């Protein structure tokens, strides 16, 4: 997970092209497929919730997340219009006190952050005991991961600084930082450029799918002297 771009570089395009990115969600079948997968996960108990990398707030609005952070300023203005309390921040240094949140969500965010394990560690810090972490990602080794990595090579502005992760890398990071995966579903089995209908999510973390959603629970890491 090393050699990743500084957040100032990776967030710049989302600031400059905020309206273009937000408009992608309008009547998007991909967004519908992703939301169906996320909603197939077990429900999380009500409580204060945060989305890291909230962007224009489409996921936060659909899922009822009350708070959102993002390093890109322009998308935050769009999220605020969707009644989400927002501030400019990065996932590696969350502006929340320890143990204050019931749920933290990251959708298509870990591929853009500078230090994924540090972000997950911060999620562990701010979550309550047995708090839940919801992650949605594109597996690096699947057809969609390869497709987006090719877009990156071809200079696509939104993917220039993306570094996609495998399911194994995410599982390892979660375990290292005090999380246990409780549920996972996979979807988007239609190939890039051939998405024509909604899909029913399949149980499990399947890298053959283009989108994986998982629910992990916080547990206390064993104490070690520094």
**pLDDT tens digits for 107-117?**
999 999 999 99
**pLDDT tens digits for 45-88?**
889 999 999 999 999 999 999 999 999 999 999 999 999 999 99
Domains observed in the chain: 7-218 (3.40.50.150)
Beta-sheet strand order (sheet of 85-88): 85-88, 67-70, 49-52, 101-107, 127-137, 211-218, 179-187, 202-203
Q: How far is it, in rounded angstroms, from Cα 44 to Cα 103?
A: 7
pTM reported for the whole predicted model: 0.92
Q: How far is it, in rounded angstroms, from Cα 51 to Cα 104?
A: 6
Question: Which of 111, 151, 87, 120 has its CA nearest to residue 216?
Answer: 120
**pLDDT tens digits for 179-192?**
999 999 999 999 99
Task: Specify the 3-state DSSP secondary structure of 7.
Answer: helix
pLDDT (0 to 100) of residue 66: 93
N-terminal to C-terminal alpha carbon distance within the chain? 24
- Asked if 34 and 136 count as a contact pair (C-beta separation under 8 A), the reply is yes
Q: How far is it, in rounded angstroms, from Cα 172 to Cα 160?
A: 25
């Amino acid at each position: 997970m090393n050699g990743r771009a500084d957040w100032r570089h990776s967030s710049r395009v989302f600031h400059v092209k905020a309206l273009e990115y937000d408009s992608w969600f309008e009547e998007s079948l991909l967004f519908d497929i992703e939301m169906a997968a996320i909603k197939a996960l077990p429900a999380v108990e009500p409580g204060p919730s945060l989305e890291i990398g909230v962007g224009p707030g489409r996921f936060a609005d659909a899922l009822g997340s009350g708070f959102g952070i993002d390093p890109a300023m322009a998308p935050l203005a769009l999220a605020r219009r969707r009644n989400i309390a927002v501030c400019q921040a990065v996932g590696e240094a969350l502006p929340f006190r320890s143990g204050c949140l019931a749920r933290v969500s990251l959708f298509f965010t870990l591929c853009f952050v500078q230090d994924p394990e540090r972000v997950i560690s911060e999620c562990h810090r701010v979550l309550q005991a047995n708090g839940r972490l919801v992650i949605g990602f594109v597996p690096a080794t699947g057809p969609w991961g390869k497709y987006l990595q090719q877009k990156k090579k071809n200079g696509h502005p939104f993917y220039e600084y993306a570094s996609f992760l495998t399911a194994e890398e995410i599982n390892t990071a979660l375990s290292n930082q005090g999380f246990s995966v409780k549920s996972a579903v996979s979807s988007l089995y239609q190939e890039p450029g051939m998405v024509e209908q909604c899909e029913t999510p399949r149980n499990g973390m399947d890298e053959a799918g283009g989108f994986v959603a998982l629910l992990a629970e916080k547990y206390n890491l064993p104490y070690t002297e520094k």
